Amino acid sequence: MPTPDRGCIAAGTPPEACAAGFVADLDGCMAILPESPCPAGAMALPGETQCREVAPCGAGPWPDVGDSAAVEYVDATYTGQDSDGSASKPWRTLGEAAADAPREATIAIAAGSYPESIKVTGKALRFVGRCPALVEIAGTESSPAAIWFATGASGSEIADLAVTGKRGGVIVSSAVDVQLRRVWIHDVGERGLSVERFNVPTSAALIGSLVEGATGFAVVSLGSEVDIQDSALRDTVPEGGIGAGIAGENGMSPEDRARVLVRGSVIERQPGLAVYMLGSDVEIDRTLVRDTFASPSGAGQAVSARNAPGGGRGTLALRGSVVERSHEVAVSIIGSDATIESSTIRDTQPNAAGVGVGVRISSQSHQPTAATMVASVVSGSLGVGMFVLGADVSVESSVIRDTSAELDGEHGKGIEVQTLESALPAKLHLLGSRVERSTRTGIMIFGSEATLEHSIVADTRPDEEGLMGWGVGVSDQVELGARGRLVLRSSAVERSTQAGIAAFDADVELDASAVRDTAVDAHGFYGRGLALNGASAFVKRSLIERNHEMGIGIVSSTATLEAVLIRDTAPNGAARLGDGIVVVTTDQPASAHITASRVAASARAALSNFGASVVFGASAFECSGFDFEGEQYLGRQYEFTPAGGGSFCGCPEAASECQVLQGEGVGPPPTLDPPSALFEL
C-alpha cells in the first residue's frame, strides 16, 4: 500500500510479524504442527512437528520432587499395613497423604490409578506424579471434581499426572496462584478445569497441559483469573447442545471480573464455541484456534466476546494468532471492545443458513462496540468477510480477501457496515488496507459512515449470474432514516464489475483517489466508474479512467468536480454511451459543477446532459467522439452554463469552443438497481 512517509508497503501481516511457532504463507500466517491429529494423551504446540507426551516419564519409581522440604509418598500398589508416607512405606491413597501432609508439602505419586476425589483446604499442597501416562487420579461421583482446591489452598500445584472421572476434573475456588503443570485432564463427565470466585480473589494457571474430552467446557473462569500457557484444549463433548473450550463470566459483584490469558496454545475441535467470554476480559496471544464445528444447537463461533446481560462490557485482544475453519462466525464482538493484531482469520465454514462470517463487530442497544484490527488478514469467508453493525471500527494495514457469496447467493461482501439504530451509527475507518477478490461487493455501507485512506478495493467479482461486482456501494438505511457517507482519500477502487463506486441516497467524497478499469457485467451492461443515484458527491484531485458507459454518472444527484481527470471511457457491450460525464434528471433534479478538470478520450461524448444543469469552467474536454450532448428528458430542459476561467474542447489540444450536439431522444441507459437487503446474522 502507498504511504505518505514509507513508500509502498504490503498490507496484512508481514512475515517477520508471524509469532513464534507460526510461518508466513499467502494468507497471513499458519501454525507449524504435525500433519495428522495427535492421539489421545499426546499433544503438539505451534512450532512442533511431532506429537509428544504431555510430560516424559522418569526412570525411577518416584517423580523428581526437587529440594522439597516435606515429601509424602503415595503408591497404590503398596501392600504393607505400616504406611507412614515415606518412600519405603508410602501411603496407598492420596486422601491419606493430603490429610497427613503439612503446609506446602509435596505429595509424590507413583504409577497407578487412584480412584478417589480430593479436596484441599487450609494449606497449600503440591501433587506431583511420575508422568501423566502412568499416574491417574480418577474422581468419584460423590465429589464435583477429582481435585478441588478451596479456601486456604493458595499456592497449591498439581504436576505430571492425569485427571479423569465421572464428574469434573479440577476445581479452584477461593484460592489464588494454583498451578496445573504438565497435566492431562481427559474424559471427565463435567468441566475440565473450573476456576470459581465467591467474593474472594481466585486465580489459576494451566501450563504445558492437555485438556481433552471434557463435558460442556474444557476451562471455565467465573469471576476469576486464568492463565493458559503452552497448552492444548480439544474435543470437548457438548452438553445441552453446546460446549466450549474456554468460557468466562463475571462473578456476583463488579469486582468479580473474569480474566483469561491464553498464550502459545492450541484450541481445536470445540462444539459450537472455542472461546466464549461474557462481559469479561480475554487476551489470546500466539495461539491457534481451529475447526470449531457447529454444535447440535446450530451455533458455531470460534472466539466470542460479548457484553453481559446486565450491561457489563467485555474486552478481547487477539494477537499473533490464527483462527481457521470455524463455523458461522470466526470472531464475534458484541457490546464489547476488541483489538485484533497480526492475526489471520480464514476459511470460515457455513452454518445451516450458508453463512460463514470472518469477523462480526456489533453494538447492542445502548451498548456501543469499538474495535481495531491491525496488520491482519481475513480470507475465505462466506457471505461477509467483516460485518459491522452499529460499531466504531478501525482497520489498519490489513487485508480482507476472497469473500464468497453465501450459499444462497444473496449476500457477498468483503465488508458490510450498517447502523444499528439512530443512536448507534456505524463508522468504519480503513487505513492502508486492501479489500480484494470479494464476490458481489467489496465494501457495502448502509446508513453509516466509512472513510478509506491509502487503501485499495480491487478485483471484486460478479456473482454466479455475472451481475454485481461493485467495488464500493453506499446507501441510505431507509427504515432508520440514516444517510450513508463514503470518503476516499488517497485510495483506489479498481477492476470492479458494473460499478466502481455506486451511491444511492448517500454522500460521497473523493480526494486524491482513483476509480478505474470497471468492467461490464455478463449481459454487457454498466461498467461505470462512479455511479450516483439520488446522491451528492464532491470529487477533487482524482482520476477516473478506463471505465464503461460513463466515467461519472450523476443521476438525480448533485456533484462538484474539481481538478478531476476522466479518461478512456468506453461503451458497454451493447455499444451504448462511452461518455466521460453523464448528468441525468429523473424524479429529482440533477446538477454538476465542474472546474479545473479534464475529460479525455471518451468513446462518445465528453459530457452529456439529460434534462439537467451543468456549470463548467477552467476545464478541458479533448479527443472524445464529440464534445457535449444535450437532450430534453422527462419534460426537463438541459442547461450548460460556462463559468469563469474558460473551457475548451478539441483534439489533440483543447483549444476550441465546446459544441453541444442535440440529443436524438434516445435517453440515457437504465440506472443501477439499489443494493440488496441488509445482511442479517
**Residue of 616, 657, 655, 662 whose CA lies nearest to 637:** 662
Q: What is the dihedral of CA 628, 634, 635, 637, to 10 degrees?
A: -20
Band (pLDDT 50/70/90 cuts) for residue 670 is confident
Is the pLDDT confidence value at 540 over 90? yes
Task: Confirm whether 509 is domain-assigned.
Answer: yes
- Find the mean pLDDT for residues 134-147: 96
Is the pLDDT confidence value at 18 over 90?
A: yes
In a domain, 665, yes or no: no
Contact 342, 318 (CB under 8 A): no
| pLDDT at residue 163 in the model | 98
pLDDT in tens, 312-323: 789 999 999 999
Asked whether residue 487 is assigned to any structural domain, the reply reads: yes
In a domain, 393, yes or no: no
Domain contains 499: yes
pTM of the model: 0.94
The answer to whether 604 touches 614, Cβ cutoff 8 Å, is: no
Q: In what helix (H) or strand (E) does residue 94 lie, and over which residues does it extend? A: helix 94-100
All three cell numbers of 389, joined, read 453493525
Range 487-507 average pLDDT: 97
- Quote the DSSP letter at residue 487: E
Is the per-residue pLDDT at 288 higher than 80?
yes
Into how many domains does the chain fold?
A: 2
pLDDT at residue number 480: 81
Question: Which of 582 and 1 is assigned the larger pLDDT?
Answer: 582
Cα 284 to Cα 227: distance, rounded to the nearest angstrom: 10
Average pLDDT of 194-218?
95
- Tell me the CATH number at 522: 2.160.20
Looking at residue 67, its pLDDT comes to 81
Task: Tell me what pLDDT residue 311 has.
Answer: 66
Query: Does residue 224 register a pLDDT over 90?
Result: yes
Contacts of 222 by beta carbon, 8 Å cutoff, 6+ apart:
194, 195, 196, 197, 248, 249, 250, 251, 256, 258
Choosing from 18, 34, 53, the residue where a domain stops is: 53
- What pLDDT was estimated at residue 82? 93
3-state secondary structure of 526: coil
Q: How far is CA 447 from CA 89, 389, 450, 488, 502, in A?
A: 77, 11, 10, 17, 14
- What is the DSSP secondary structure assignment for residue 342, as one 8-state letter? S
- DSSP readout, 380-410? S-BSEEEEEES-EEEEES-EEE-PBPPTTSS
Spell out the residues 6+ positions from residue 54 whose beta carbon is closer than 8 angstroms to its own.
Answer: 41, 42, 43, 131, 132, 133, 182, 183, 184, 208, 209, 210
pLDDT over 70 (residue 352): yes
Looking at the predicted structure, is the pLDDT value of residue 359 above 80?
A: yes
Q: Which helix (H) or strand (E) holds 98?
A: helix 94-100
Contact 283, 275 (CB under 8 A): no
Residues 374-397, mean pLDDT to the nearest whole number: 95
What's the mean per-residue pLDDT of the chain?
A: 93
pLDDT at 343 over 70: yes
Which pLDDT belongs to residue 677? 65
Structure confidence by residue, pLDDT tens digits, 169-182: 999 999 999 999 99
Domain residues for the domain of 461 are 438-641
Query: Would you say residue 201 has pLDDT above 70?
Result: yes
3-state secondary structure 242-304: EEEEEEEECCCCCCCCCEEEEECCEEECCEEEEEEEECCEEEEECCEEECCECCCCCCCEEEE
Task: Name the pLDDT band for 245 (thresholds 50, 70, 90).
Answer: very high
Q: Residue 641's CB: how many other CB atoms inside 10 A?
A: 11
Q: Is residue 452 part of a domain?
A: yes
| Listed ranges 24-28, 92-96, 420-424; the one with the highest mean pLDDT | 92-96
Helix (H, G, I), strand (E, B) or coil at 628: strand
Q: Which of 88-92, 201-205, 293-297, 394-398 has the lowest mean pLDDT?
A: 293-297
Last residue of a domain, one of 34, 53, 72: 53
More confident residue, 6 or 106: 106
In a domain, 79, yes or no: no
Asked if pLDDT for residue 681 goes beyond 70, the answer is: no
Q: Given pLDDT bands bounded at 50, 70 and 90, which one contains residue 625? A: very high
Whether the per-residue pLDDT at 279 is higher than 70: the answer is yes
Residue 621 in domain: yes
Q: Please, which residues have CB within 8 angstroms of residue 596's CB and are 6 or more apart in sequence?
A: 562, 563, 618, 619, 645
User: Which residue, chain included where needed, has cell 512475515?
Assistant: 15
Q: Mean pLDDT, to the nearest integer, of 497-517?
A: 97
